[in-house]
Structure 1
Amino acid sequence: MPITIYLVRHGEAAGSWDNALDPGLSERGADQASKMADRLCQEIPVTNLYCSPLHRTRATAEPLAKLWHKEAIIKPELSEVPSEGVDFGDRRSWLTRVMAGTWPEQSSRLNSWRTAILDFTVAQTQDAVFVTHFVVINAIIGAIEKSNNVIVFRPDHCSVTKIHVSADGMSLIEKGQEAVTVVK
């Protein structure tokens, strides 16, 4: 029997990609997270809740964790695209190039990061919510759609994308709301 994974993109961050390494949520992002939590509580029963170690994902998961009376489990496999070694001033242009490319064009480090995400996802044995990042969600959906493109759709802040995971692999149930995302 397939399980359902709910892929939630974090709320709007308080800082941009090229001026903050680990920003929390903006006021708008906190509101988005609260509304997402209310929506998911009405839609699904309490289940596993995982998030990346970054502040914006933990803050996005917090309202749902409070409603469910449980803590989100921090999973490095759900972390933002790794950019260590990229000069802080070059982060925006680097990420823009990565997002415009394909997986075969990326470094072995980025492809290993993607493999860890996919391995973690297919290893799930119970329904779960993953509070994570734009490129992480794209890595999962791209694999389902058998696309080599790094970006296959643009999940909005706090959008919920639903997938099934079974012994046969992963399949898409429904993409979350899309938005135009600009790397700030």
Structure 2
Amino acid sequence: MARIYMIRHGKAAAGWGEDKDPGLDDTGRAQSEKAADGIQAQVASPLPVLTSPLKRCQETAVPLASRWETTALIDPRVAELPSPMEDLTKRGEWLRSVMNGSWDQAVPSQDAHPDYGKTLEDWRAGIVTALLGCTQDTVIFSHFIAINVA
């Protein structure tokens, strides 16, 4: 059975209610170096590296991928929880309520977002499929909620 190292991205330069796809801030870049140190201390030779398509994950993967002289492969299945809304303020409020609640609370009004329940199910299934598809030890850079789904 493959061993999967799931690593949460470093500290983002902006929150969910401020930017759709922020990169890392200085702290996040330092965290990405420490994550690379930690993986290298545990793993004797380079492994496949997958990352969410979002900037903060891609940037977190760079130090490890560079040290291993490889490229992190982008896998949209390990992306962040999809948001049912575009408005950044509402999006931030919605995410905070999801993180403090249950999966049932993740689905907003069916009138406003009738297909979101299916979107959420597909996202969760995609994460599981991505993990089950790892046939060898693999490092995956992803997000807090996605890692908890795993």
Q: TM-score, normalised by structure 1?
A: 0.72
Unmatched runs of 5 consecutive residues or more in structure 1: 141-184
Shift of 1:92: 1.4
- How far apart are the structure 2 equivalents of 1:49 and 1:30? 18
Unmatched runs of 5 consecutive residues or more in structure 2: 108-116
- How far apart are the structure 2 equivalents of 1:4 and 1:83? 30
Choose between structure 1 and 2: higher strand proportion: 1
Counterparts of 1:54-133 in structure 2, within 5 Å, are 54-104=54-104, 106=107, 107-133=117-143
Choose between structure 1 and 2: higher helix proportion: 2
- How far apart are the structure 1 equivalents of 2:95 and 2:15? 12
8 A Cα contact 1:50 1:131, kept in partner: yes
- How far apart are the structure 2 equivalents of 1:116 and 1:104? 19
Q: Which has the higher contact order (CA 8 A, sep 6+)?
A: 2
Percent identical residues: 38
8 A Cα contact 2:85 2:91, kept in partner: no
Counterparts of 1:164-175 in structure 2, within 5 Å, are none
**Aligned-residue RMSD, C-alpha:** 1.3
Amino acid at match of 1:78: V
Shift of 1:14: 0.6
Q: 1:103-157: CA deviations, max 9, x gaps?
A: 35542211211111111111210110010000100101xxxxxxxxxxxxxxxxx
8 A Cα contact 2:16 2:88, kept in partner: no
Aligned pair count reads: 139
Counterpart position of 1:164: none
- How far apart are the structure 2 equivalents of 1:130 and 1:5? 7
8 A Cα contact 1:6 1:130, kept in partner: yes
